[in-house]
Amino acid sequence: MELDFTGKVAVVTGGSKGIGLATARTLRAEGAHVVAASRKSSPELDALAGPGLVHFPADLTDPDAPAAVVAHAVEIFGGLDVLVNNAGGPPPGATLPRFSFLPLTDADWRDMFEFNLLSAVRAIRAAIPVMVGRGGGSIVNVSSAVARQPGAMNADYAAAKAALTTLTKALSEEFAPQGVRVNSVSPGPVRTPWWTDEGGAADVLAAAFGADRDAVLEQVAPEAMAVRTGRLLDPQEIADMIALLASPRSASTTGADVLVDGGFHKAV
């Protein structure tokens, strides 16, 4: 299916690895001009760079950074049609999972909401006037399945993502009449560097369960989270749904929250 991205301009935050990298690669392959924003680039992102895809170094927890990313897209590509708010997960300096609510300080909560909610709020605030001026656009926020099905771990992360999902629906109500669609994708556990990096979630859970990290990635984590497909998701599976929602082929889809979670979420 042709997704009709030729000539469109997209910003992808958190675009150097994981879901963001897969999304930037997919949108570029479909013909979009892409600005991938992240604190640092990566060899994989550098391999994609060229006239149609550029990296913009930005710490999305800096209040001025999201607007600067949008301004850069306008400056080099002439506008903005697609915004993918993918930056999220553990804030800089934090490691997830965290197993209890009680040790979390006010600073922990502020950092989590800065990275997972307010960075998106600021990017959207900068993007919508540009999109409206071009006759419309599409925003896709990367939320999480734990926004709908929270557990005992990572209460701050689940709360921030639930707020992002709610924001998505509120904005879709206000801006659909102006041609701006706003949707969210809620992944289950995805095999990204958040899990696989040294000291990441696989190592934390390996220590907690008394297992080795490979067993955590292949079996322990999917079973503990009741992922019915029996495996962590691939970033490309999320990127494909993001691309479809962002595409003009989804012109009547707004305010949706699409689960791509391997059956993790059980409620109707």
Q: Which region, left, alpha or beta, applies to residue 12 given φ > 0 means left and ψ of -120 to 50 means alpha? A: beta
Task: Of 128, 240, 241, give the one whose Cα is nearest residue 178.
Answer: 128
Q: Are 254 and 182 a contacting pair, CB within 8 Å?
A: yes
35 is catalytic: no
Q: Are 182 and 171 a contacting pair, CB within 8 Å?
A: yes
Cα–Cα–Cα angle for 34, 35, 41, rounded to 5 degrees: 120
Spot the catalytic one: 115, 157, 175, 264: 157
Task: Of 234, 187, 208, give the one whose Cα is nearest residue 89.
Answer: 187
Q: Are strands 9-13 and 33-38 parallel, antiparallel or unpaired?
A: parallel
| Separation CA 23–CA 235 (nearest Å) | 8
Tell me the longest C-alpha to C-alpha distance in the chain: 55
Which residues carry out catalysis?
A: 157
